[in-house]
Structure 1
């Protein structure tokens, strides 16, 4: 009995020690220490050097003027201007440290030549001119993505839609097993378990066969799921690996920029994207927030080339290499003619071009009959709110599905804060009662759809590296619509009475959260 108690106590001590020495705790403490030192220095200077107070106030006013004149979203401006004016001594300084929404200047210098190589590698072809003749409205959307994101549309691409991660997972394994030249993976979250371990086993095997295996993962996304030296562990097993934006103990706005993309490319012929990360909850091998509803898309054929170049451009950015993209061109003969157009696209925080949001807005504004939306977070800008409400008031059947079991309670509260205004306009809202809905998809009028990694929140639309595929008249659009309607059978419709019946303190919290939504 004593030994049992001793063993139990020893395990508890080990767990506590493991937690206290975790790099998240250490890095967070170091950042907090820097913030405390900065605060103390400011207070000391203010007390012993009176002009310092006026200097800091002047700095805050200049920062406010800069924010007002910037091209940022109005909600983002308000979210910063209020705390700056409320705390004029510290507010301007806080914005200079944390308020940046673009890459650092060093990051931008590294990204520019990569972006030029990306643009040169993806040829526009003749699809857009053909589309302009058959459907000018669809051509306008495609032209925007080509001009703003340098991402062209393709024909000769077969698509397969997966309504669950459980369905996509075996197809991903099958594609990896078939690799002969290269396997590229770029994911926000990776966690050891059934899904990742089985994929890793295959990757090590293929690397041993001479296949070029490369992996990119976001350090912040994996900070609680992978050890700090995981990259080195993979390199020893033959997998080339790079970590996006390592989490360092430095006060910096670079924390805002994350690689939220999910890409698997095999031999340049086949690519996967969607909401699915490489962790067990995404295939429901582990219960986390109830049943996990996610979606994914595979493309086989010409459009896979854009995903190949997306990965290579990020690889070059992280390594500083100047890769010859042409040597990764598919070697298989052209795929059979497939119906429809597929346009993979990516979005970066390199500029102020809201590619992801504009693509969504174009779908909403051009819809004639219906728009069905899956999103885990509904934290929309004023432009998006106006578009959704205007579409519903125009007679378009606008439906939005969100989770019923949240992964982040404050974000979930903020999501629900937008319900009432949308419902009043005629938008229909549903919550996925079995658990957490992580899917990010749009489908409209049986002709257009988007499946990708892009959430309806400020971070996805403005701060993260993201990707998706725009589909036009492809056969799988019917599958996307069918899955959406069948999912509604598992959902609870939200009513205006429910929204208006919340307590006063909940309304107050929602109002505060909406004010600072762009900073969350």
Structure 2
């Protein structure tokens, strides 16, 4: 039996024991038990009402609480993740990791004078993610496929001299990871510091349970994010969905592309795998370095000298502004950063907004923002997959179509296969390339990252990629598309319970 199977069995036994003990105490003294259950339910209701969370989350948990007898117990077990003292201490220590740019204030001041709308979007982002900053002096390259980005990554890895950081949701043994690993082994032998952080649940089916030990035997510092252990905890809901590669603090990569062969179409799982990514060279890479160190430190708590990674990386000639940022669960982030960035871009668009997302499972607020943009005349287009990787998700995604189509949103399904890119572009001025899906898990629970781009040269490449996607995708028309009753039902059920999933 694998360690994951063993952990699942132990956690199930823990859950069954808690409920057995709860009902066993009721058999001993029923009157006292009823009083305890009543007080527990009332206390839970007050806790939910006074807790800072989205209205839909409150409604969901209140409904759960009213399940006879066990509702309050479910909330106490799964309703809120409480950080340990060690994690809280690590969060406080992160204040010393400020990689601030000397010219950040001047860049924002100049932007405010020329484009107040873009300034407001960026200012809002910086207020939500205190670790983010505005960068110039950066060149970038957009990749419309995992194949092209993979080859560029290999070239940069071979040039590493000081350190290499990799943080990925999925790593799978095969051609892509195998060729990267060979370079990492060579670099580690040469004295280059190599750190690898991967999500334990994300790699549960793709890597052996002892893979960190294998990597360490090559001289690579490797750890699992949020390691699965035989303990029932809601913390497992917060996965590390980021995709970050940093080389010497000078070059960085991010986007939707994990380190597995379907992402470079070496193997075919769901037709042609369409993805997107970005390469940064210059000052903005400091932010990707910091994002990696934040999750490494929260997970390991071992780094004490952050300044040695705060290299004075060379500014590169390039126009526009770059704002790499993170998003994630509370209390690391005080608001839904990824969702708010999307909302601000959509709400302030005047000409067009194009979106690619593999999943479309969004709440009332974001749905209304998208509808309102279309109703005021903005050309809003959303591309989702025609070939899905999760059969249950596609009916839920399609259940959202009718309401959006009625408001004038244009919806496309990528017919060659599965589209996995998470890109947004608006008005030839702003774009987002990153890991953040339009679904609850990405917008609420997962640790995510992205880059907000303002008037950078690659905006034309991103828009051109969208135009090519539209050409090979099938547009969904209101009146032609027939949503079934179960698709609408699934959508409503998921919207109701998604905030707690």
Answer whether TM exceeds 0.5 for this pair: yes
Name the structure 2 match of 1:474. 456
Name the structure 2 match of 1:143. 123
Q: 1:516 to 1:330 in 2, by over 3 A?
A: same
Are 2:340 and 1:361 equivalent residues in the alignment?
no
Name the structure 2 match of 1:393. 375
Name the structure 1 match of 2:172. 191
Q: CA RMSD in A?
A: 1.8
Correspondence list, 1:270-419, <5 A: 270-330=251-311, 333-335=314-316, 337-349=317-329, 350-419=332-401
Name the structure 2 match of 1:445. 427
Q: Please say if residues 455 and 461 of structure 1, whose CA atoms lie closer than 8 Å, have aligned partners that are also in contact.
A: yes
Q: 1:353 to 1:59 in 2, by over 3 A?
A: same
Name the structure 1 match of 2:162. 181
| Distance in 1 between residues matched to 2:376 and 2:248, nearest whole Å | 46
Correspondence list, 1:147-166, <5 A: 147-150=127-130, 151-166=132-147
Equivalent residue of 1:161, what SS?
Answer: strand
| Distance in 2 between residues matched to 1:72 and 1:404, nearest whole Å | 34
Q: Please say if residues 121 and 326 of structure 1, whose CA atoms lie closer than 8 Å, have aligned partners that are also in contact.
A: no
Name the structure 2 match of 1:4. none
Correspondence list, 1:79-98, <5 A: 79-85=60-66, 87-98=67-78
Q: 1:338 to 1:389 in 2, by over 3 A?
A: same
Unmatched tracts of structure 1, length 5 or more = 1-20
| Aligned-pair CA distance for 1:189 | 0.7
Structure 1 consecutive aligned stretches of length 4 or more whose deviation exceeds 4 Å: 120-123
Name the structure 1 match of 2:20. 40
1:287-342 superposed Cα distances (whole Å, 9 cap, x missing partner): 1122111110111111011111111222222222343333223455432x211111
Q: Please say if residues 340 and 472 of structure 1, whose CA atoms lie closer than 8 Å, have aligned partners that are also in contact.
A: yes
Equivalent residue of 2:204, what SS?
Answer: coil
Q: 1:453 to 1:215 in 2, by over 3 A?
A: same
Q: 1:172 to 1:23 in 2, by over 3 A?
A: same
Equivalent residue of 1:409, what SS?
Answer: coil
| Aligned-pair CA distance for 1:206 | 0.8
| Distance in 1 between residues matched to 2:22 and 2:442, nearest whole Å | 34
The structure where helix makes up a greater share of residues is 1
Equivalent residue of 2:302, what SS?
Answer: coil
1:153-194 superposed Cα distances (whole Å, 9 cap, x missing partner): 111111111011111000011110111111110111111000
| Aligned-pair CA distance for 1:53 | 3.1
Q: Please say if residues 177 and 260 of structure 2, whose CA atoms lie closer than 8 Å, have aligned partners that are also in contact.
A: yes
Name the structure 2 match of 1:118. 97
Aligned mate of 1:269, from 239, 250, 271: 250
Aligned mate of 1:424, from 402, 406, 425: 406
| Distance in 2 between residues matched to 1:69 and 1:516, nearest whole Å | 20
Equivalent residue of 2:452, what SS?
Answer: strand
Equivalent residue of 1:186, what SS?
Answer: strand
Q: Please say if residues 182 and 212 of structure 1, whose CA atoms lie closer than 8 Å, have aligned partners that are also in contact.
A: yes
Name the structure 2 match of 1:490. 472
Equivalent residue of 2:98, what SS?
Answer: helix
Unmatched tracts of structure 2, length 5 or more = none
Q: Please say if residues 157 and 303 of structure 1, whose CA atoms lie closer than 8 Å, have aligned partners that are also in contact.
A: yes
Equivalent residue of 1:265, what SS?
Answer: strand
| Distance in 2 between residues matched to 1:103 and 1:34, nearest whole Å | 19
| Distance in 2 between residues matched to 1:404 and 1:118, nearest whole Å | 43
Q: 1:259 to 1:68 in 2, by over 3 A?
A: same
| Distance in 1 between residues matched to 2:157 and 2:82, nearest whole Å | 33
Aligned mate of 1:504, from 467, 477, 485: 485
Aligned mate of 2:55, from 74, 88, 96: 74
| Distance in 2 between residues matched to 1:61 and 1:414, nearest whole Å | 34
Correspondence list, 1:216-235, <5 A: 216-235=197-216
Q: 1:321 to 1:286 in 2, by over 3 A?
A: same
| Aligned-pair CA distance for 1:136 | 1.8
Equivalent residue of 2:392, what SS?
Answer: helix
Q: Please say if residues 353 and 380 of structure 2, whose CA atoms lie closer than 8 Å, have aligned partners that are also in contact.
A: yes
| Aligned-pair CA distance for 1:352 | 3.3
| Aligned-pair CA distance for 1:242 | 1.8
Q: Please say if residues 114 and 316 of structure 1, whose CA atoms lie closer than 8 Å, have aligned partners that are also in contact.
A: no
Equivalent residue of 2:438, what SS?
Answer: coil
